[in-house]
Amino acid sequence: MIEFKFPDVGEGIAEGEIVRWLVAVGDRVRVHQPIVEMETDKAVVELPSPRSGVIRELRGAVGDTVAVGAVLAVIEEAEETAMAEMKEQARPAAVGVVGELEEAPESEPHAESGEVVPPVLPRDRKLAAELGIDLAAVRGSGPGGRVTEADIRAAGAPAEEAPAPAERIPLKGVRKAMARTMTASARSAVHVTVMERADALALRELRERERALAEGKGVRLTYLPFIVKALTLVLERFPLLNSSLDEETEEIVLHRGQHIGFAVDTPEGLLVPVVRDARRKSILELAAALQELSERARQRKITPAELKGGTFSISNYGAIGGLWGTPIINPPQSAILGVGRIEEAAVVRGGEVVARPVVPLSLTFDHRIIDGATAQRFLNALVEHIENPDLILLEN
């Protein structure tokens, strides 16, 4: 027999939730055959059998949270199963005068059942009958457990309405990881947010021109790929925004690659897939990567590797109608950009008030690393690229 334990899958994962058993007790399994689906705070993964054999025990029910190293299943290896079957076939059967008899199963104990009525005075028994009280269900408070008149009247009194219980939802999986990450961020980083608006008229016109080309390649072209591309260009000029703080060594780490995480709203909670080396990708490549990662994140098919290594993040709450926000930094990063919905707004152009599509931008940064002037200059440069998307194409 071998004990199959929840393995350490890396990424700092300490526990997981049983989503679905893929086998049952008594099933034969092959080596590497998936046994169970486990949900960690990163993704849903299938865990394979380390041996061929028969499942003799499954430990834990669907919904249970188990720690790394805990036993999930007991497997009788193929060799053990073969030996057990040979012994079973060699065991003699019980023989009687009329031939072979099946061995009788071990008998189970049977408990005697009966109704126990506690001691009660005749007058109180009569009172119970009048009130329709079952004396067997009343606990007596008198001497020797005798049921008193007070006990009977209390049993017959209408129960006070209890307050409606509040619904409780376990904090687990993605939501638990998100809560832990956001708490760590709030406790460590010094969050400051600066805000700006960008005129998106030229960006809208560029998107409309390129939309048909993108659709022909099976890509849905939103505004986000353009903003991500603009962001990568500006990050080259402001490397502190693409950095993290190593608190142990008291060093600021300037990251060479630009790996952009973007928040995806899923039924289980917030996931942040990462587009790696975003600076090297074209607008269409970014659009395809954002679309593909978003779909797999919502389907919980994203891999742990695709959720790590980000150097800067974007929260596009404008996609669900949000206008302004103060996003929380995704540690250990030093900044995050919030993008609101693009809507028509009154702006002054050439001394006249005109309606223009405007995109709200919120930049939250860690004031331990980045000062306010640097953050504002970064945001100004980003606005310039959004308002003049030719800069994006020229530097592509």
Return the SS3 of 131: helix
HSE-up of residue 46 (Cα within 13 Å, Cβ side): 9
Q: Which residue in 255, 259, 367, 385 is the catalytic one?
A: 367
SS3 category, 50: coil
**DSSP sequence for 116-138:** -PPPB-HHHHHHHHHHT--GGGP
* β-bridge mates for residue 342, sequence order: none
Q: How far apart are the first and last CA of the chain?
A: 60
Contact 282, 213 (CB under 8 A): no
Q: Which helix (H) or strand (E) holds 361?
A: strand 352-366
221, two tokens: 């072209």
Chain centroid to CA 377:
36
Active-site residue flag, 367: yes
Q: Is 39 exposed, middle or buried (0-12, 13-18, 19+ CB in 10 A)?
A: buried
Question: Please, which residues bridge with residue 352 across strands?
Answer: 349
Known catalytic residues are 367
